[in-house]
Amino acid sequence: MIENKTYANKKGFNPLNSICVVTGGSSGIGLAIIEELKKRKAKKIINIDILRRDQDNVDFYKCDVGEDKEIKEVFEEIIKKYNTIDLICSNAGIARDDDGLATVEHWNNIWKTNVLQHTNIVRNSIKKMLLKKNGWFLITASAAGLLSQVGSATYSTTKHATVGFAEWLSITYGDLGIGVSVLCPQGVNTPMTAKIEKGGVAGINGMLEANQVAVIALDQMVLGKFLITPHEIVKKYIKIKADDTDKWIIGMRKLYKQFIK
Ligand SMILES: NC(=O)c1ccc[n+]([C@@H]2O[C@H](COP(=O)([O-])OP(=O)(O)OC[C@H]3O[C@@H](n4cnc5c(N)ncnc54)[C@H](O)[C@@H]3O)[C@@H](O)[C@H]2O)c1
C-alpha cells in the first residue's frame, strides 16, 4: 500500500481478506457497511448488535455495546477465534428528541450507547492491535458532532464527544500503526430516520442512502482519510461555524424555530 502524507492515516485501509467487526450491523448504516465489506472481499465479518439478524457468512454476537462486561467477553472470544482484528466499525447508535428536561436515566442510556461504546471497544481491543501494529477504527459519529442537532441535547452532546474521542484516538495511536476514521453524515435513510418526514432537520440538504454512505466511507478509508463527511456541504458549514460562531448560533436558532418549535 502507498504511504501518504496528505491524510491523518499514514496508510489506507483495504478490506481484502480482512477480519472486520461492525456494531449495529443488523440495520441501516451498519448493515450497509457489512454488505460493502462483503463486496470488497473481507475474509470474515462479525456483527455485534442487540437485535439479532442472520446474515450469510457473518458471525453474530448479541451484546449491548454500552456494557463493558459484555464487550469484554465478546472481544475475548473474537480475538481467541481470529487472533487479529483489522477493522472495527463502532457504529451502533440511538437518537432521541429531548431538551434541557431530559432525565439522568435518559442521559445515561444514550451516553452509554453513543459514547461509552467506543471507549469500551478500544479498551478491549487496542492492546492486541498495538502489539501487531495493525488495526483500524471507523467510528460513526454524525454531522451533529461537528455542528449540532436541533431538538436533541443528548444526540448533539454524545456525537460531539464521539468526534472528540476519535480525534484523540488518532492523535495518540496514529503513529503506532493504528488507523482511525470518523464518519459524520447528515440525514441517511435508515430505520432511525424512517418515521421523520424527509429526515426532518437532518434531511435539510437531502437524504443519502445507507449504501451510498458505506461506499463513500470505505473509498475514503482506502485513501487514509480521518474525517469522512458524505454530505459535502458539511465542510462548508464547519468553516462558517469556525469563522463566526455567534452568527452560526443565530442561524441555527432559525432552524430550531422552523423544525422544532
Ligand atoms: N440515519 C441517520 O440519518 C444518521 C445520520 C448520522 C449519523 N448516524 C449514526 O449512524 C449510526 C447508525 O445509525 P442508523 O441510522 O443505521 O440507525 P439504525 O437504527 O438503523 O441502526 C442502529 C443499530 O444499532 C443497534 N443498537 C442500538 N443500540 C445498541 C446497543 N446498545 N448495543 C448494540 N447495538 C445497538 C440497533 O439494534 C440497530 O441495529 C448511529 O451511530 C447513528 O447515530 C445516523
Per-residue pLDDT 10s for the chain (261 aa) are 555 668 999 999 999 999 999 999 999 999 999 999 999 999 999 999 999 999 999 999 999 999 999 999 999 999 999 999 999 999 999 999 999 999 999 999 999 999 999 999 999 999 999 999 999 999 999 999 999 999 999 999 999 999 999 999 999 999 999 999 999 999 999 999 998 877 788 788 889 999 999 999 999 999 999 999 999 999 999 999 999 999 999 999 999 998 887
Give the integer Cα–Cα distance in Å for 6 and 3: 9
For residue 72, which phi and psi values (nearest 5 degrees)?
Answer: -60, -50
28 lines ligand 1 (CB under 6 A): yes
Domains and CATH numbers, the chain: 19-233 (3.40.50.720)
Question: What is the 138 CA–ligand 1 centroid distance (Å)?
Answer: 14
130 lines ligand 1 (CB under 6 A): no
In the block, cell 478500544 appears at 122
Helical (H) or strand (E) element with 45: strand 44-49
Q: How far is CA 51 from CA 27, 55, 64, in A?
A: 9, 12, 9
The total of other beta-carbon atoms located within 10 Å of residue 6's CB is 8
In the block, cell 441535547 appears at 153
Give the integer Cα–Cα distance in Å for 144 and 157: 8
193 lines ligand 1 (CB under 6 A): yes
Question: What is the 93 CA–ligand 1 centroid distance (Å)?
Answer: 4
